[in-house]
Structure 1
Amino acid sequence: MQKAAIIIPAIVVAAVIGMSSVFVVDEREKALILQFGQVKQVKSDPGLGFKLPLIQDVVTYDDRILSLSTRPLEVTPLDDRRLVVDAFARWRLVDVVQFREAVGQGGETVAKSRLDSIINAAIREVLGSVPSTTVLSDDRTPLMNQIRDLARREAASLGVDVIDVRLTRTDLPEQNLEATYARMRAEREREAADEIARGNEAAQRVRATADRTRTELTSEAQKQAEIVRGQAEAEANGIYAQSYGQDPTFFAFTRQLDFYRKSLASDTSSLVTQPDSLYFDYDRFLQSIGDAPAAR
C-alpha cells in the first residue's frame, strides 16, 4: 500500500510533466520555444513539438495574411487642400524571432499599433508630395504602390512584410465640403455663362448672315420684277399702238372699258353724276376722245 501510494502520485506527476513537454503547432501558426524569455527554438512546421517542462514556454503567432484598417487621418497635399484619408493594409509575419524581439509580449496588438503608425506616416509622406487632384483621381494605383513600398521598408524591422496598401477613402473635411461645393458651382456657372455667350454670338452671326441673304435675294427679286414689269408694259404699249393703228374705234372701246374698270375698282367706290353725263354716253364718249386715245 505504501508503494502504491508513492507510485501513483509519481505516475501522475510524470504524466503531467510529459504532457507539459508536448505541444502542437497548427498549420496556420508559427511557434517559438522560449527559455527564461529567450528564444531557443523556432518551429514553423505543423505537428507535435517538444520542450523542457517547467523551464521552457511556447508562444504561437498567426502565420496567415492579416488585415489592418488604419485610423482616419488628415493629410495636406501640395496645393494645401486638406483631405481625410483611410487605408486598408494586408501584412504577414515573415521573421518570427525578429517579430518577438520587436514587439515583446504584446504580440499582434503591439504590431498592429506600430504598423498603423508606419502606414500613416507613409501616407502623409507620399500624398504630401502630390496635388489633391492626383489623390482624388480615379487611378491611385501608383500612389498606393509608393505607400506600400515605403511602409514595407519601415516594417521590415518588425519582422513583417506589408503585402498591400489600399486607400479606401479620400474625402474633404466636413468644414471644407460646403466651400468646395460653392466653388464648384461657381465654376460650373461661369462655364455655362461662357457657353451661353458663345451660343448667342454664333446665333447673332447666323441671323446677320440670314438677314443679309434675305436682303440680297429680295433686292434681286425686286430688280427682276421691275425688269419684267417694264418689259411687259413696253410690250403692252406696243400692242396698244398696233391695235390703234388697225382699228381706232375698237381701241377707244377698250380704253373706255379700262376707264370703267379703274374708276370702279374698289368695292366701296361711289360715283355721283348726271344721267346724261359723258360717263354713260358711249357715242359722246367716242366723239369726245376723237384723237385723244393717242394722247391718253
Structure 2
Amino acid sequence: MRSKSLFSFIIGLLLFLLYISIFTVQQTERVIILRFGKVVRDSNNKPIIYGPGLHIKIPLIEKIKILDARIQTLDVQADRYLTRENKDLMVDSYLKWKIIDFNRYYVATGGGNAYQAETLLKRKFSDRLRSEFGCLNVKDIITDSRGRLTVDVRDALNKGSSSDIVVINNMNNNIDYPNIYSNKDIRNKIDIFNSNSIAALGIEVVDVRIKRIELPSEVSEAIYQRMRAEREAVARQHRSQGQEEAVKIRAAADKNVTETLAKAKRTALKLHGEGDAIASKLFADAFNQDPDFYAFIRSLRAYKKSFNKNGEDVMVLSQDTDFFRYMKAPTK
C-alpha cells in the first residue's frame, strides 16, 4: 500500500516537473532561456532564440524571458525643434519598430525591458529628427520634403553615422562570457557595426511618420497679429485706391454731364434763334403782303393781353392815342 502511494507520488511529481518544463511560444513572441541568470547559448556562443511552438526547459533551473516580435508603435510627445533659419517648430510624430536581434535587444535593454528600449529609441529618434530639421528651412519642411524627411530619419536611425564603428558584442561580456575574446574563432565571429544605429539595440525602425507640424503658441500669435496687420494695410490700400478711382469716375461723369448740357444748351439756343429768325421772316412776309391787316391783328392781340377778364384794368391814356384807333367808330 505504501509502495503504491510512493509510486503515485513519483508519477505526480514527474507529471508536475513535465508540466513546468514545457512552455509554448506564440506566433508573435520569441523566448530566451536564462540558466542561473545567464543566457543559454549554442556551440557558437550565440544565444538560443526559441521561435513559435512547444519547447522544453530544465525546471527550477532555467527561466524563460518572453520578447514581443510584433511591430510596435512608439508615440513621441510633441517637442520643439529648431530649423536652419533658427525658427522653432512644434513637431508631433511617431515611429514603428520591431526587434530583429533578440540577443542584442536583451543585452542593450537590461534583460528585455521594453520601457528602457523605448526610452533609448525615443532619445535616438529625437536627436536624429532634430539634426534633420536643423538642415532644412520651414518651407522645405512644410511643403514637399516631409516624405523625404521621414525616410532620411528612418535610414539614419537604422544605419547610423559612418564615423563611429564599434564592437557591440562587448556588452555581452557583462552577462555570461567574460572570456569571450580569449577564443580566436569566436572573436572573429563577433559582429562589427555602427553604435549610433538602432541596430546596436537589436531594433529596426520600420516607419517614421510626422503627425503634425505647427508653430509654438507664442510665435503663432505673433505671426497671426503680423498677418492681420498686413491684411489690414492691404485693405486700407485697396480702400484708398477705390476712393481715388471713385473720385476720378465722378469727376469724369461731372465733366461729361457739363459738356453734354453745354452742347444741348448751345443746340437749343441755335434752334431757338433759327426759329425766331423763321418766325420773324414769316411775320415780315405777311406784313409786306398786307400791312393794314397785320396792324389790325397785332392790335387785337394787344387788346387781348392788356385787358383783364375781371374788368379791373385801368389805363390812363389819351383818347387820341393810336392804341385805341380800332375801338373808335369807323368814319367815312
TM-score by length of 1: 0.76
1:97 and 2:140 are equivalent in the alignment:
no
Q: What is the aligned length? A: 279
Q: Which amino acid aligns with 1:37?
A: V
Deviation, structure 1 residue 24: 0.4
Aligned match of 2:224: 181
Match of 1:117, SS state, is helix
User: Could you tell me how far apart the structure 2 residues matched to 1:286 and 1:96 are?
Assistant: 146
1:43 paired residue number: 50
Distance 1:188 1:12, change over 3 A: same
- Contact kept? 1:34, 1:41, Cα under 8 Å: no
Equivalent residue for 2:24?
24
2:286 maps to a residue whose letter is: S
**2:81–2:130 CA contact under 8 A, matched in 1:** yes
- Residues 69 and 87, structure 1, Cα contact 8 Å, conserved in 2: yes
Residue range with higher mean Cα deviation, 170-179 or 22-31: 170-179
**Are 1:118 and 1:151, in contact at CA under 8 Å, matched by a contact in 2?**
yes
**1:235 matched to 2:267:** no
After superposition, what is the alpha-carbon deviation per residue over 1:10-61, rounded to whole angstroms, capped at 9, x for unaligned? 43443333233321011221223344225532223x2212234344432222
CA contact (8 A) 1:33 1:59 kept: yes
Percent identity of equivalent pairs: 31
More displaced stretch, 74-83 vs 170-179: 170-179
How far did residue 133 of structure 1 move? 4.8
Distance 1:68 1:241, change over 3 A: same
Secondary structure at the aligned position of 2:113 is classed as helix
Q: Say whether residues 1:203 and 2:246 are aligned partners.
A: yes
> Which of the residues 113, 118, 129 maps onto 2:124?
118
**SS of the residue aligned with 1:71?**
strand
RMSD of the TM alignment (CA)? 3.6
Following superposition, the deviation at residue 70 of structure 1 comes to 0.9
Q: Distance in 2 between matches of 1:50 and 1:226?
A: 127
Offset at residue 239 of structure 1 (A)? 1.4
- Could you tell me which runs of 5 or more consecutive residues in structure 2 were left unpaired when the two chains were aligned: 42-46, 160-196
- Shift of the 276–69 alpha-carbon distance from structure 1 to 2, 3 Å rule, reads same
Pick which of 122-131 and 183-192 moved more: 122-131
Say if 1:26 and 1:235 are closer, same or farther in 2 by CA, change over 3 A. same
Q: Rate the CA distance shift 1:66–1:239 in 2: closer, same or farther, 3 A.
A: same
SS in 2 for 1:80: coil
Is residue 34–residue 64 contact of structure 2 (8 Å, CA) maintained in 1? yes
Could you tell me which runs of 5 or more consecutive residues in structure 1 were left unpaired when the two chains were aligned. 265-270, 288-296
2:198 to 143, 155, 164: 155
Higher helix share: 1
Shift of 1:5: 6.2
Q: Distance in 2 between matches of 1:93 and 1:112?
A: 12
Compare 206-215 and 6-15 and name the one that shifted more. Answer: 6-15
Identify the residue that residue 274 of structure 1 maps to in structure 2.
Answer: 315
Q: Distance in 2 between matches of 1:151 and 1:255?
A: 121
Residue number among 289, 297, 305 corresponding to 1:246 in the alignment: 289
Give TM-score scaled by structure 2 length. Answer: 0.69
In structure 2, the residue matched to 1:268 is: none
- Corresponding residue number in structure 2 for 1:71: 77
- On the 8 A contact 2:78/2:91 being kept in 1, the answer is yes
Q: Which moved more, 1:150-159 or 1:253-262?
A: 253-262
Q: Aligned partners of 1:76, 1:69: CA distance in 2, in Å? A: 20
Going from structure 1 to structure 2, the CA distance change for 1:221 and 1:18 (only over 3 Å counts) comes to same
Give the counterpart letter for 2:278 in structure 1: E
Residue type of the alignment partner of 1:64: R
Q: Does structure 1 conserve the Cα–Cα contact (< 8 Å) formed by 2:33 and 2:39?
A: no
Secondary structure in structure 1 of the residue aligned to 2:77: coil
Separation (CA, whole Å) in 2 of partners of 1:79 and 1:253: 108
Amino acid at match of 1:83: L
Question: Match of 2:86, SS?
Answer: coil
Q: Cα–Cα, structure 1 residues 105 and 229, in superposed 2: closer, same or farther, change >3 Å?
A: same
Q: Which amino acid aligns with 2:258?
A: T
- Paired with 2:260 and 2:30, the residues of 1 have a C-alpha distance of 96
Kept in 2, the 8 Å contact 1:71–1:116? The answer is no
The structure-2 alpha-carbon separation of the partners of 1:216 and 1:41, relative to structure 1 and needing over 3 Å to count, comes to same
One-letter code of the match for 2:275?
A
